[in-house]
Structure 1
Amino acid sequence: MSELRPIFNALMRGKTGALLLIMQVAVTLAIVSNAAFIINDRLTYLHQETGLQDQNLFRFNLYTFGKQVDIRQQQEVDETLLRNIPGVADAVVINQVPLSGSGDSTSFNLKPSPQQSQSERAAFFMADEHLLNTLGVKLEEGRNFTAADVVYSQYYDKNAAVALVTRQFIDGLFPAGDGLGQTMYLGDIPLKIIGIVAPMKGPWLKDEKPDNVVLIPQVEGVAFKRVLVRTEAGRRDEVMQQVAPVLLASESERVVSNIKGVDELLATYNSQDKLMSNMLLVLICVLLLVTALGISGLALFNVGRRTRQIGTRRALGAKKSDILRYFLLENSLVSISGMILGSILALAMSDVLMRHYSLPRLDNWFILYSLCGIYLMGMLAVYWPALRAAQIAPSIATRNV
């Protein structure tokens, strides 16, 4: 450690380059640690379990324009036709499609409006007694809908009396854990909770509580419908090709459109998050490369500037390993100084991102990982210039410039 003082003096004589490198390391650490944390957060989000069989589900729109068509009767015919297609596990007409980024949500209360009471917001899906089976979600407690529970309405002139809910929702509305069999209210409409289903996501993964889902046995008699179909594993593409011909053969005065897999809808919904993660990954790579080049460049500059000094040290008995250690230690001092400043900048940047973009607070482990990574990268970047310095012969000290 007797080399620390001469190293410090040498850095002070060329302090501009050292200060610039310290700032570069600091900025790199601040950005890399926050970017890596955001990427990890997005990857966790993108790979979360949905509770649904995304690969076996698809949806399509069905618009009937025939004036003489009995909408309710035709709907029952259509669902029967779909369920009879080879490879179809089940199918329902539904108000909204899970994981699509578009849906219906509202607050459910313990007392009817306008009374004030405990409430919990949730996405809700409305369909007949085939809904749970079409979603492929298991019933954990209570009972499923029956045909007698299903209400067919026209512009909500009738309302269902029961509902199924997810565990997260019922625990939020009934913290005591006694929600099964209790009554909740949608506005002033009472809904008895008859069953609890396995965890599943609603239409939005970015929702504050994406697992809050309520299933209601109600079907609206309207000309425009969304239809959800679950197929047997590996047969979805085959079934999707048969949907339009089968339905149009039954009733030609309508349009079948927007046939898409639920996993495709989810991919579109998550496309911006994937793009952001890829861009941040590229940014990290570029910053690390630029910083490595800066460290290596400064080391090469110092080797060229101190050639005679290094030759003199070699002539006085310094070993190659001493010269190598000198430059590695010099780089360590610069890198550690930059990393101390960078850690402060990383926390400050995290606070700004948290306030303005609602991102979670930076985990300190990501600062530590970034510190280790940047330090190791710095050592590798300076090793070749340091090795080059160690090869300088003692005779260089006696040459004339």
Structure 2
Amino acid sequence: MSELKPIFNALWRSKTGALLLVVQIAVTLAIVSNAAFIIHDRVTFLNQDTGLKDENLFRFNLYTFGKNVDIGQQQEVDETLLRAIPGVADAVVINQVPLSGSGDSTSFHLKPTPEQSRGARASFFMADEHLLNTLDVKLEDGRNFTAADVVYSEGFEKSASVVLVTRSHLLDLFPEGDGLGKTIYLGDNPFQVIGIIAPMKGPWLDDEQADNVALIPQVMAAPFKRVLVRTEPGRRDEVMQQVEKLLLASESERVVSRITGVDKLVLEQTSQDRLMKNMLLVLITVLLLVTALGICGLALFNVGRRTRQIGTRRALGAKKSDIVRYFLLENTLVSLFGIVLGVGLALAMSDVLMRHYSLPSLDNWFILYSLAGIYLMGLVAVYWPAQRATQISPSIATRSV
């Protein structure tokens, strides 16, 4: 510790470079800790369990323009044709496609409108009794709906009377956990909760209530429809190639479009998140590299400027390890000042991001990990200049007086 005073004196004589490095370390710590936290948040988001085996699912749109086509009857024919394709596990005409980034949602309540009661929002999917099997989602409790529960209509003039829901949605409505068999309301339409399905995501992965899902046994006849197909593992591409030709052979006055794997829809929905993650990784790498170069550069400058001082210490008996320790201790002092300032900046930056961009509050562990990483990086960056300082000969140093 006897070296602290000369280190402080040396830093004070060249305070501009030291202050700039302190600011650089502080800014790097603030940005790196917040960026690392955001990356962790995005990676968690991207790797979340959707509850669906999207690699076995694909969707497509079907638009019928023939005026003499019985839409309802043709839907039944189409589903039968699709289910008969070798490699198809099941298929349904559906109002929206899970994980697609586009969907329907509404609030279910404990009492019919206009009465006031507890409510909870959920995304909902409407199809026939093959829906649960097509999604390949487990029924955890109760029963699945049957063909007798399915309501066929051209609009909302008729409504189904039963519903399957995820447990998270049911707990929002019945916190005591006794919702199975109870009646909930969509507007003034009653639905009996006949079953609880395993957790699955709705259309939007970034929805705060993405786990709240309701399955309704209702099919609406319309010229435009979406179709969801589940295939046996490894056979999706094979089946996708057959769909358009098969359906147009059954009815030519229509258009088959957007035959797409659901996993590709997920990639489209999360493209911005993956881009953000990659950009932040590049930013962290560049910042750490620049900071390391700044630490190394300042140390090299100090070695060149203190040749006489180093040579004198060597002539007085200082060992090479003493010279290395001197520069490591100097870097530690500069880093500590930068770290203290950086912690404050990191917390302030987190507060701004939380208030203006709805990001979660920064986990303090990321500050600790970042400051530890920056400190160790600083020691590594200064080690080579310190080793170079040990090569200064005492005789060369004294001749430079």
The Cα offsets for residues 77-111 of structure 1, whole Å up to 9 and x where unpaired, read as: 00000000000000000000000000000110000
Q: Tell me the CA shift for residue 154 of structure 1.
A: 1.2
Distance 1:184 1:129 in 2: 20
- Checking the alignment, whether the CA contact within 8 Å between 2:354 and 2:361 is kept in structure 1 is yes
Correspondence for 2:156:
156
Pairing 1:222-371 to 2, within 5 Å after superposition: 222-371=222-371
AA paired with 1:243? V
Correspondence for 2:385:
385
Distance 1:26 1:93 in 2: 57
The Cα offsets for residues 218-242 of structure 1, whole Å up to 9 and x where unpaired, read as: 1111000000000000000000000
Q: Tell me the CA shift for residue 162 of structure 1.
A: 0.5
SS in 2 for 1:52: coil
SS in 1 for 2:370: helix
AA paired with 1:165? V
Correspondence for 2:130:
130
Correspondence for 1:79:
79
AA paired with 2:280? L
Q: Tell me the CA shift for residue 400 of structure 1.
A: 3.9
AA paired with 2:308? R
Q: Tell me the CA shift for residue 209 of structure 1.
A: 1.2
- Checking the alignment, whether the CA contact within 8 Å between 2:63 and 2:254 is kept in structure 1 is yes
Distance 1:187 1:158 in 2: 13
- Checking the alignment, whether the CA contact within 8 Å between 2:150 and 2:217 is kept in structure 1 is yes
Q: Tell me the CA shift for residue 318 of structure 1.
A: 1.0
> Aligned-residue CA RMSD in angstroms?
0.6
SS in 2 for 1:205: coil
- Checking the alignment, whether the CA contact within 8 Å between 2:308 and 2:400 is kept in structure 1 is no
SS in 1 for 2:389: helix
Structure 1 unpaired stretches of 5+: none
SS in 1 for 2:148: helix
Pairing 1:131-210 to 2, within 5 Å after superposition: 131-210=131-210
Distance 1:273 1:358 in 2: 15
Distance 1:14 1:287 in 2: 24
AA paired with 2:89? A
Correspondence for 1:215:
215
Q: Tell me the CA shift for residue 397 of structure 1.
A: 3.0
The Cα offsets for residues 311-352 of structure 1, whole Å up to 9 and x where unpaired, read as: 111111111111110001000000111011101110110011
Distance 2:119 2:28 in 1: 46
SS in 2 for 1:217: strand
AA paired with 2:201? K
Runs of 4+ in 1 over 6 A off after TM superposition: none
TM-score (ref. length: structure 1): 0.99
The Cα offsets for residues 34-77 of structure 1, whole Å up to 9 and x where unpaired, read as: 00000001000100111001000000000011111111111000
AA paired with 1:186? L
Distance 2:400 2:189 in 1: 98
Correspondence for 2:67:
67
Distance 2:292 2:53 in 1: 46
Distance 2:258 2:318 in 1: 77
Distance 2:10 2:17 in 1: 11
AA paired with 2:141? E
Correspondence for 2:23:
23
AA paired with 2:100? S
Q: Tell me the CA shift for residue 396 of structure 1.
A: 2.1
Structure 2 unpaired stretches of 5+: none
Q: Tell me the CA shift for residue 121 of structure 1.
A: 0.3
Question: Which shifted more, 87-96 or 390-399?
Answer: 390-399
Distance 1:243 1:256 in 2: 9
Distance 1:63 1:398 in 2: 91
The Cα offsets for residues 96-129 of structure 1, whole Å up to 9 and x where unpaired, read as: 0000000000110000011110000000000000
Distance 1:47 1:385 in 2: 43
SS in 1 for 2:122: strand
Distance 2:233 2:4 in 1: 67
The Cα offsets for residues 170-208 of structure 1, whole Å up to 9 and x where unpaired, read as: 011100111000000001110110000000000001000
- Checking the alignment, whether the CA contact within 8 Å between 2:25 and 2:339 is kept in structure 1 is yes
